Amino acid sequence: MAYSYAISDSSHKDNMPVEIDPISSLAFSISANKGVFALLLGSGVSRSSKIPTGWEITLDLVRKVAALQGAECEPDPSAWYLATFGKQPDYSELLDVLCKSPAERQQLVRSYLEPSDDERAEGDKQPTAAHRAIAKLVKAGFVRVILTTNFDKLTELALHEVGVVPTVLSSVDHIAGALPLVHTACTLIKIHGDYLDTRIRNTVSELADYPDEFKHLLDRVFDEYGLIVCGWSAEWDDALRSALTRAPYRRFSTYWASRGDPGMQAQDLIKRRSAHPIPISGADAFFSKLVELVTVLDSFSQPHPLSTAAAVASLKKYLSEEKYSIQLDDLVSDETNRVRSVLHGQHFDMSARDLDSKSLGDRVRAYEAVSTTLIEMAAVAGYWAKPVQLKPWLRSIAKISQRKYESGLATLIDFQKYPACLVTYALGLGAIASGNFGILGALFSIKMVKEHQDDRLAVVALNPIAMFEHGTTAAKLLPGKERHYLPLNSWIEEYFAPLGERLFQSDQEYRRGFDKLEFLWTLAYAHSIRANNGHFWVPFGNFIYRSGRYRLLAQEVRDSLTSAGEHSIYVTAGLFGSSTQECVEILDKIDPLAGEWARQRH
At 3 the pLDDT is: 29
Q: Mean pLDDT across the chain, nearest whole number? A: 84
Higher pLDDT: 473 or 21? It is 473
Q: What gap in Å lies between CA 154 and CA 41, rounded to an integer?
A: 12
Q: 533: pLDDT confidence band, cut at 50, 70 and 90?
A: low
Domain extent for 74: 54-121
At 602 the pLDDT is: 44
Query: How many domains, in total, are found in the chain?
Result: 4
Higher pLDDT: 21 or 359? It is 359
Our CA angle for 554, 503, 373, nearest 5°, is 120
Q: What gap in Å lies between CA 7 and CA 582, rounded to an integer?
A: 27
Q: What gap in Å lies between CA 327 and CA 336, rounded to an integer?
A: 14
What whole-number percentage of the chain has pLDDT above 90?
44
In a domain, 226, yes or no: yes
Its pTM stands at 0.58
8 Å CB contact between 66 and 72: yes
In a domain, 408, yes or no: yes
Residues 69 and 149 in one domain: no
At 6 the pLDDT is: 32
The DSSP element (H or E) to which 329 belongs, if any, is helix 325-343
Domain boundary among 504, 529, 563: 504
8 Å CB contact between 524 and 516: no
H-assigned helices in 99-202: 102-113, 117-122, 129-139, 154-161, 172-176
Mean pLDDT score, 549-565 = 95
Beta pairing, strands 254-258 & 226-230: parallel
Residues 198 and 170 in one domain: yes
Q: What is the CATH number of the domain that holds 285?
A: 3.40.50.1220
In a 13 Å sphere around the CA of 389, the CA atoms on its Cβ side amount to: 25
Mean pLDDT score, 441-457 = 72
Residues 482 and 531 in one domain: no
143-168 per-position pLDDT tens digit: 999 999 887 889 999 999 999 999 99
At 320 the pLDDT is: 92
Mean pLDDT score, 275-287 = 92
Domain boundary among 479, 504, 529: 504
Of 196-205, 291-300, 377-386, the poorest mean pLDDT is in 196-205
335-345 per-position pLDDT tens digit: 999 899 888 87
165-180 per-position pLDDT tens digit: 999 997 777 887 777 8
In a domain, 6, yes or no: no
